[in-house]
A and B are shown apart, each in its own frame.
Chain A
Amino acid sequence: DAGVIQSPRHEVTEMGQEVTLRCKLISGHNSLFWYRQTMMRGLELLIYFNNNVPIDDSGMPEDRFSAKMPNASFSTLKIQPSEPRDSAVYFCASSLRSTGELFFGEGSRLTVL
């Protein structure tokens, strides 16, 4: 079975540009998590979806960040406008249930110049 698939793997953009990160969940998983990883702060939960519904977005840094889950298998994380401090690796993870094992994608490394 294919794991969690994220795209793009690497993104370099200039400050002010819109960035869209994509995630395809493992088939049958109903929980979706977006995390951000930096050296300074480690892994931080940005937003959690259950059955396509956003349950907790308290980790989203500010209004420049938005996430959607238009169907059971796909999610996007958008940053508009992007800023240099958004530079990080963004991970998507899915699980069979909200407290089950997390299966992480390979991450999207974002660099905002």
Chain B
Amino acid sequence: TQLLEQSPQFLSIQEGENLTVYCNSSSVFSSLQWYRQEPGEGPVLLVTVVTGGEVKKLKRLTFQFGDARKDSSLHITAAQPGDTGLYLCAGSGGSNYKLTFGKGTLLTVNP
């Protein structure tokens, strides 16, 4: 069974601070997705990374896939209250439709 561990589980910071959240596994994934889920809503895809060592940027968000494709990180620069939400990572085994989701990091950015 593939498991994804996300850390920290909870993170509360002030507007303008930088932060990094992590997604780790002992299994290799062919691709990894990051979702953001706001209260009362479903998760929304932010990015998909597929190549070991790949770095993708989405405005103030930087996503990295580990060289061995077992881990990933999400770095947010100058966090804003609008970044508040549950950040979920999800790994895919390739052609397998079954995504393994981590439990998420609940981020609160205080004004």
**Residues of A bordering B, CB below 8 Å:** 4, 31, 33, 41-45, 48, 50, 55-56, 91, 93, 98-99, 101-102, 104-107
CB atoms of B42 and A55 under 8 A apart:
no
- Give chain B residues whose Cβ lies under 8 Å from the Cβ of A99: 92, 94-97
In the complex formed, the residue of B with least CB distance to A45 is B98
CB atoms of A98 and B40 under 8 A apart:
no
Q: How far is the CA of A51 from the CA of B80 in the complex (A)?
A: 41
Query: What secondary structure prevails in chain B residues at the interface with A?
Result: loop
In the complex formed, the residue of B with least CB distance to A6 is B42
Q: Which one of B41, B45, B88, B97 has the greatest number of beta carbons of chain A within 10 Å?
A: B97
Contact with A along B68-101 (1 / 0, CB 8 A): 0000000000000000000010101011111101
Number of A-B contacts (CB under 8 A): 48
Q: How far is the CA of A106 from the CA of B40 in the complex (A)?
A: 7
CB atoms of A107 and B42 under 8 A apart:
yes
CB atoms of A104 and B103 under 8 A apart:
no
13 contacts between A and B (CB under 8 A): A42-B104, A44-B101, A45-B98, A45-B99, A48-B97, A56-B97, A91-B42, A93-B42, A98-B95, A99-B95, A99-B96, A101-B48, A102-B45
- Give chain B residues whose Cβ lies under 8 Å from the Cβ of A31: 97
In the complex formed, the residue of B with least CB distance to A3 is B42
Given contacts A4-B42, A91-B42, contact A56 B98 (CB under 8 A): yes
CB atoms of B41 and A98 under 8 A apart:
no
Q: How far is the CA of A43 from the CA of B40 in the complex (A)?
A: 14
A12 to chain B, nearest CB (A): 16
